[in-house]
Amino acid sequence: MKKKLLVIGAHSADFVWRSAGTIAKALEEGAETLVIALSYGERGESGELWKEDPKRSVESVKVIRHAQAQKAADIIGTPIQFLDWGDYPMIINDERVEQLTHIIGDFEPTVILTHSEKDPFNPDHPLAFQATQRARLLSSGAGVPSAFKNIDPPVWYSFEPHQPELCGFVPDTFIDISSVFEKKVAAMAFMGAQSYLKDYYTELATRRANHARRISGKKEIKYAEAHQSQVPRVTNTIF
């Protein structure tokens, strides 16, 4: 079975914190991956750059954020596409949902990873969730032949938000990212506009690994990322 992972982040660094390990692991397993950054997070998620120089232009922040995310993607080994939709606020309209629908239809992912449905601390993350939800349904149809090209419905997960409990995030899938964690650390190191998050996400990976070890008995898990499935999974066997 083909393995194709599409990761959709509202801002250009979201994929690094929340899913760099999962992406690197998928690549290690021979999957094809694609990251979509809906915006650069130039206004709301580039704190260090604005602290450095409050008078700099939004355009100059976008250039830096593009370069940082591109470097992180290169380290992980995944292609990344920037849609430049703007952030804080992100505007979702029919045209943009159609653009995302085309991307999903062209890439034909078997798995989609995006934000959680709720995030009381971020105005754009739930919008990215909604746009992804709608585009996924528009590209896969109702599971029957349709008047348009429809792909098999991709498995769909939310990656872990910054404050999981307050976002209603309940992890049900843990990915062992121990073998690729060095890549995640290297990718995080390039996200200079949000360097305050590097230690936090390293700590989180060790805590999630603790949970994964307890759940599975797999003592070798040192680092893990947690996700929440949004649709039931269909498998050939209970095992």
Instruction: Give the x/- contact pattern for Zn ion in 62-101, rule: CB under 5 A.
Output: ----------------------------------------
Distance in Å, CB of 64 to Zn ion, minimum: 16
Nearer of residues 14 and 160 to Zn ion, judged by Cβ: 14
In the sheet where 80-82 sits, what is the strand order?
Answer: 80-82, 32-37, 4-9, 111-114, 155-159, 224-229, 173-176
SS3 state at 11 = coil
- Whichever of 191 and 212 has its CB closer to Zn ion, that residue is 191
Minimum distance, C-beta of residue 12 to Zn ion, in the bound complex (Å): 9
Nearest residue to 104 via CA among 78, 141, 74, 68 = 141
| Nearest distance in Å: CB 14, Zn ion | 4
114 vs 230, beta carbon nearer Zn ion: 114
- Nearer to Zn ion (CB atom), residue 87 or residue 176: 87
Beta strands 4-9 and 32-37, pairing class? parallel
Regarding 11 and contact with Zn ion (CB under 5 A), the answer is: yes
> Does the footprint of Zn ion cover residue 42 (CB under 5 A)?
no
Question: Cβ 13 to Zn ion, closest distance in Å?
Answer: 7
Residue 114, SS3 per DSSP: strand
Residue 167: partners with Cβ closer than 8 Å, 6 or more residues away: 116, 117, 118, 119, 120, 121, 161
Closer Cβ to Zn ion, 88 or 150, answer by number: 88
Q: For residue 204, give the nearest of 167, 177, 186 by alpha carbon.
A: 177
- Where do contacts with Zn ion occur on this chain (CB under 5 A)? 10-11, 14
